[in-house]
Amino acid sequence: MKDIDAKVLSSDVLAEGLIRIILHAPEIACEAKPGQFIHMLVPDNAHVLRRPISLMAMDAAAGTLTLAIQPKGRGTQMICSLKEGDTVKCLGPLGAGFDGKGAQTIYFVGGGVGVAPICGAMDGFATESSCAFFGFRTKNHVYGMTQAPCRVVAVSDDGSIGERALVTKPLLEAIEQKRPDLIMACGPTPMLAAVQKIANDMDIPCQLSLEERMGCGIGACLGCNVKINLPDGTWTYKRVCKDGPVFDSKEVAFGG
Amino acid sequence: MADLSLNLCGVQMKNPIIAASGTFGFGREYDELYDISALGGISVKGLCLGGRMGNPPSRLTETPSGMLNCVGLQNPGIESFIENDLPWLLSKDVAVIANFFGTSIENYCQAAEAFANTGVHMLEMNISCPNVHDGGVAFGVKPESVYEITKAVKAHSRQPLIVKLTPNVSDITENALAAQEAGADAISLINTLTGIAVDVHKRRMILANNTGGLSGPAVRPVALRMVWQCAKKVSIPIIGLGGIETGEDAAAFMLCGAQAVQVGTANFTDPFACPRIARELGEYCDAQKIGNPQEIVGTLKSY
Ligand SMILES: Cc1cc2nc3c(=O)[nH]c(=O)nc-3n(C[C@H](O)[C@H](O)[C@H](O)COP(=O)(O)OP(=O)(O)OC[C@H]3O[C@@H](n4cnc5c(N)ncnc54)[C@H](O)[C@@H]3O)c2cc1C
Ligand SMILES: Cc1cc2nc3c(=O)[nH]c(=O)nc-3n(C[C@H](O)[C@H](O)[C@H](O)COP(=O)(O)O)c2cc1C
Ligand code: FES
């Protein structure tokens, strides 16, 4: 974990409403693992909280990190306005990422901006028999498909790419064909909850990457806690920034 | 290079920079970034007997130049802290301030007593908690109540007792005086200011607890004013906090009358904020030709 001035090597439009930023951050890239994130200072000195952003790709040799950022509110808009040559304070790598656990067949599930960390997970863990399922709003929102290390099935909300369906439809069809050893997922909460239900009902090991508002980003403030089920039927709070963002699907208690 | 050291209520500290309760855990996470022995002190996450689960998420959100939190005093309990975290903290060269709270006066007294035979250097009593026996009004709101709880807890404290004052009151100086009269060794101020945040699109509250505590630079002018007013009334040491981000901010609190300062929200913006502020305070002193920042405490020229 380091807090560094990362240099912006490039910034371009990855898809509709999504900016790709490549950072020169060798101290972070050399330690980073799929599913981890960085805590980025908003580059205007007007925001007291940093913004957590996942790693879409990391290259230890080149010392680079690739991010895909959706300009949502003020903070991410400012980050997305960074230009080549600018620097931005980044703390990372943070959190506990995905764990391949030596699985032979992994099904990856990504929705919207959640496809970004799944791309990182695919680079780290995809095998020939693995497959990814991506859900996008329209064909204009598509990214992460071209250099994928395994087969990718895309669906969309309007049918402009792939089927007009939720990503769980092709996922279920694929599971019927061949049961995977592991599922990794990141995306909007309704999608994660649907994937969780499928995995838990079928007793397939599954890892979900969660989001919560963050303060410190390193496990000190307990600001990012979410409810986690314990094996004995009770529950506890765990920190998305330190114990997660990736959790076992059996642990996650959606809806408070 | 200025000497930043001080003696606060009999406790020697290398500098007047203390990490604020709730923003720094028990120091372990920040120690992964730098040796926390660089700080004067650490006020640990608010503790109570038996521990507490805290509030459901979302627990925080950003606001203009600040943030709101409703973590809800989640903590593993004084017992767990003493067993699992304190030995490690005491191995560091830093003053350990046990921030604690309770549910009743008796419970507060028991909490203070639980630290009796530990190496904890000071106690910091958070009285911003609701008193169930007083219709849920916080212990720290009415001066009589501040007096009563401070008097009782002081009798059960082995270490110097700091009373942490809430700013959500009509006249904070009355409460500062009440704490002093009841035997407090020092006061710290300010705790967070109560606020809310509204999601207009969903037409609902952002924080799951509805209300939260405002902190960060947005509260700094209010905190400075309160420290300045209290310093004119009490003679016990004051620890100032609220939105401190730089060494100059720390100096401003000291000019207003604080002997030491705490740094909270700034740790989130810059994880190295505490050691940086200590360094910057030294630079400020050098530039101002001050040997030790204690020389400027309460020397603010006013109109
Ligand atoms: C582990 C993790 C990884 C993430 N990875 C990515 C990514 O790769 N690409 C991407 O575009 N977005 C990602 N997000 C979401 C991103 O952090 C938020 O969109 C962003 O913080 C919103 O900030 P803002 O200033 O634009 O919005 P505002 O609504 O103005 O933010 C106000 C406050 O709320 C917080 N906040 C608002 N929405 C979220 C959210 N969904 N998650 C966490 N905090 C939020 C902000 O950090 C800020 O403190 C990730 C979130 C987490 C927790
Ligand atoms: C996330 C968070 C948790 C906090 N928890 C506590 C606590 O447990 N006990 C306490 O006395 N104050 C707590 N506080 C208040 C701070 O210690 C401090 O009084 C306040 O944040 C003002 O300082 P700042 O502006 O430097 O953050 C908390 C503040 C924040 C932001
Ligand atoms: S953001 Fe502080 S504990 Fe997770």
- Per-residue confidence (pLDDT) for residue B130, from 0 to 100: 74
What region, left, alpha or beta, does residue B43 occupy, with left being phi > 0 and alpha being psi -120 to 50 degrees?
A: beta
pLDDT band at B91 (very low <50, low <70, confident <90, very high): very high
Q: From CA B267, how far away is CA A220, in angstroms rounded?
A: 10
> Which secondary structure element, helix H or strand E, spans residue A197, and what is its range?
helix A189-202
- Per-residue confidence (pLDDT) for residue A256, from 0 to 100: 53
A221/B268 touch (CB, cutoff 8 Å), yes or no: yes
Exposure of B201 by Cβ count < 10 A (0-12 exposed, 13-18 middle, 19+ buried)? exposed
**Can you give the CATH number for the domain in which B190 is found?**
3.20.20.70
DSSP at A215: S
Does any domain span residue B15? Answer: yes
Does any domain span residue B210? Answer: no
Q: How crowded is the C-beta side of B159, counted as CA atoms within 13 Å?
A: 25
**Residue listed under structure tokens 């959640």:** A114
Interface test with B, best of A5, A39, A45, A48 (most B CBs within 10 A): A48
B268/A217 touch (CB, cutoff 8 Å), yes or no: yes
pLDDT at B108 over 60: yes
CATH for A98-208 (3.90.1170.50, 3.30.365.10, 3.30.830.10, 3.40.50.80): 3.40.50.80
Tokens of A163: 């089927």
pLDDT at B230 over 70: yes
> At A139, which amino acid appears?
K
Q: Looking at chain A, which residue has its C-alpha nearest residue B206?
A: A213
Structural domains counted in chain B: 1
- Written as one string, the DSSP assignment of A166-182 is -THHHHHHHHHHS--SE
Distances (CA, A) of B87 to A23, A68, B115, B120: 40, 43, 13, 10
Distances (CA, A) of B183 to A12, A146, B122, B155: 63, 71, 14, 9
pLDDT at B259 over 90: yes
Least Cα distance to A86 among A198, A166, A9 occurs for A9
Does any domain span residue B303? Answer: no
Does any domain span residue B175? Answer: yes
**B132: phi then psi, degrees, rounded to nearest 5:** -65, -25
For residue A191, the SS3 value is: helix
Contact partners, residue A207, CB within 8 Å, separation at least 6: A35, A98, A99, A182, A183, A184, A185, A246, A247, A248, A249
Q: What is the CA(B163)–ligand 3 centre distance, in A?
A: 26
> At B270, which amino acid appears?
D
**A97: phi then psi, degrees, rounded to nearest 5:** -90, -160
Q: Looking at chain B, which residue has its C-alpha nearest residue A48?
A: B269
Q: How far is CA B215 from the centre of its chain?
A: 11
pLDDT in tens, B25-43: 999 999 999 999 999 999 9
* Residue A73 CB–ligand 1 contact under 6 Å: yes
A210-256 — its CATH code? 2.10.240.10
Residues in chain B whose Cβ is within 8 Å of chain A: 22-25, 28-30, 32-33, 45, 53-54, 56-62, 65-67, 69, 71, 74, 208, 216-217, 265-272
DSSP at B270: -
List helix spans (H) across chain B. 28-31, 78-80, 86-90, 105-114, 143-154, 172-181, 220-233, 247-256, 266-269, 273-288
**B236: phi then psi, degrees, rounded to nearest 5:** -75, 155
**Residue listed under structure tokens 């009440």:** B178
* A219 close to B (CB below 8 A): yes
Distances (CA, A) of A114 to A120, A121, B217: 11, 11, 33
Does any domain span residue B20? Answer: yes
| Average pLDDT value for residue range A39-57 | 96
- Per-residue confidence (pLDDT) for residue A149, from 0 to 100: 93
**A206 near A185, Cβ under 8 Å?**
yes
A225/B59 touch (CB, cutoff 8 Å), yes or no: yes
- Per-residue confidence (pLDDT) for residue A254, from 0 to 100: 86
Of A49, A89, A212, the CB nearest to B58: A212
- Per-residue confidence (pLDDT) for residue A103, from 0 to 100: 92
Q: How crowded is the C-beta side of B226, counted as CA atoms within 13 Å?
A: 31
* Complex ipTM value: 0.95
Of A89, A213, A237, the CB nearest to B60: A213
| Average pLDDT value for residue range A54-67 | 97
Give the per-residue SS3 of B64-116: CCEEEECCCCCECCHHHHHHHHHHHHHCCCCEEEEEECCCCHHHHHHHHHHCC
Tell whether domain A2-94 is in CATH 3.40.50.360. no
Domains of chain A, residue spans: 2-94, 98-208, 210-256
> Which secondary structure element, helix H or strand E, spans residue A118, and what is its range?
helix A115-125
Exposure of B48 by Cβ count < 10 A (0-12 exposed, 13-18 middle, 19+ buried)? buried
pLDDT in tens, A137-191: 999 999 999 889 999 999 999 999 999 999 999 999 999 999 999 999 999 999 9
- Per-residue confidence (pLDDT) for residue B215, from 0 to 100: 97
- Per-residue confidence (pLDDT) for residue A226, from 0 to 100: 95
Q: A3 to chain B: which residues are within 8 Å by CB? A: 33, 270-272
Q: What percent of chain A has pLDDT over 90?
A: 97
Does any domain span residue B252? Answer: yes
> At B142, which amino acid appears?
K
* A3 close to B (CB below 8 A): yes
Q: From CA B217, how far away is CA A121, in angstroms rounded?
A: 39
Q: From CA A190, how far away is CA B68, in angstroms rounded?
A: 27
**Pairing between strand B186-189 and B238-241?**
parallel
**Pairing between strand A206-209 and A182-186?**
parallel
pLDDT in tens, A73-124: 999 999 999 999 999 999 999 999 999 999 999 999 999 999 999 999 999 9
Among the atoms of ligand 3, which is closest to the Cα of residue A216? 2
pLDDT at B1 over 90: no
Domain that holds residue B190: 6-54+72-195+215-296
B74/A220 touch (CB, cutoff 8 Å), yes or no: no
The binding-site residues of ligand 2, defined as CB within 6 angstroms of any ligand atom, are A 215, 221, 223; B 20-23, 45-46, 69, 71, 73, 99, 126, 164, 191-192, 215-216, 219, 241-244, 263-266
**A246 near A98, Cβ under 8 Å?**
yes
pLDDT at B54 over 70: yes
Among the bound ligands, name the one nearest to the CA of residue A217: 3
Q: B32 to chain A: which residues are within 8 Å by CB? A: 1, 218
Of B22, B57, B67, the CB nearest to A48: B67
Tokens of B297: 């405490």
| Average pLDDT value for residue range A9-36 | 97
Apex CA B163: angle with CA B161 and CA B164, to 5°? Answer: 140
Does any domain span residue B200? Answer: no
What region, left, alpha or beta, does residue B127 occupy, with left being phi > 0 and alpha being psi -120 to 50 degrees?
A: alpha
